[in-house]
Chains A and B, each alone.
Chain A
Amino acid sequence: MIYFDSAATTFQKPRSVAAAMQDAMATMSSPGRGGYPAAMHAADTAFDCRSELADLYHAQSPEQVVFTSSATHGLNIAVKSLVPPGGKAVISGYEHNAVTRPLAALGAKTAIASAPLFESAAVTEAFDHLVTPDTDAVICCHVSNVFGFVQPVEEIAQICQTRNVPLIIDASQSAGLLNLDLTRLGAAFIAMPGHKGLYGPQGTGVLLCGQDTPVRTLLEGGTGSLSIQQEMPDFLPDRLEAGTHNMPGIAGLLAGIRYVRQHDPAAICGRERRLAQFAAESLRTMPGIQVYARPDLTAQAGVVSFTAAGHDVEALAAALGERGVAIRAGLHCAPLAHRTAGTLESGTVRLSFSDFNTREEVYQFLTILRELLR
Chain B
Amino acid sequence: MEHYLIIARSVTYAQRMQRALDRAGIRCQIFRAPRELTETGCAYAVRIQSMDLTAALQSLYRESLNPVQIFVSQRGFYREVDL
Which A residues fall within an 8 A CB radius of B? 31-32, 34-35, 40, 43-44, 46-47, 50, 61-63, 223-229, 233, 235, 237-238
Contact = CB atoms under 8 A, between A and B. Distances in A.
A34 B12 contact: no
B12 A50 contact: yes
Contact of B10 (A35, A225, A228, A229): A225
Interface in B15-53: 15-16, 30-32, 39-44
B65 to A, nearest CB: 10
Interface residues of B, number: 16
Contacts of A40: 30
B71 interface: no
A62 B12 contact: yes
B11 A225 contact: yes
Contact of B11 (A32, A227, A228, A229): A32
Given A40-B30, A43-B15, A63-B16, A235 B39 contact: no
| Most chain A CB within a 10 A radius of its CB, from B12, B15, B30, B42 | B12
Specify the main secondary structure of chain B where it touches its partner. mixed
Interface of B: 9-13, 15-16, 30-32, 39-44
A338 B32 CA distance: 53
7 contacts: A32-B44, A34-B32, A43-B15, A227-B41, A228-B41, A229-B41, A237-B10
Contacts of A238: 10, 12
B12 A63 contact: yes
Given A226-B41, A226-B42, A228-B41, A35 B30 contact: yes
A228 B31 CA distance: 19
A311 to B, nearest CB: 52
Contacts of B16: 61-63
B61 to A, nearest CB: 15
A228 B15 contact: no
Contact of A226 (B15, B32, B40): B40
A227 B12 contact: no
Contacts of B31: 35
A50 B9 CA distance: 17
B9 A225 contact: yes
A60 to B, nearest CB: 9
Nearest to A50: B12
Nearest to B10: A225
Contacts of A223: 10
A235 B42 contact: no
Nearest to A238: B10
Contacts of B40: 226-229
B38 to A, nearest CB: 9
A225 B30 contact: no
Nearest to A239: B10
Please indicate which of the listed interface residues B10, B13, B30, B42 has the most CB atoms of chain A within 10 Å of its own CB: B10
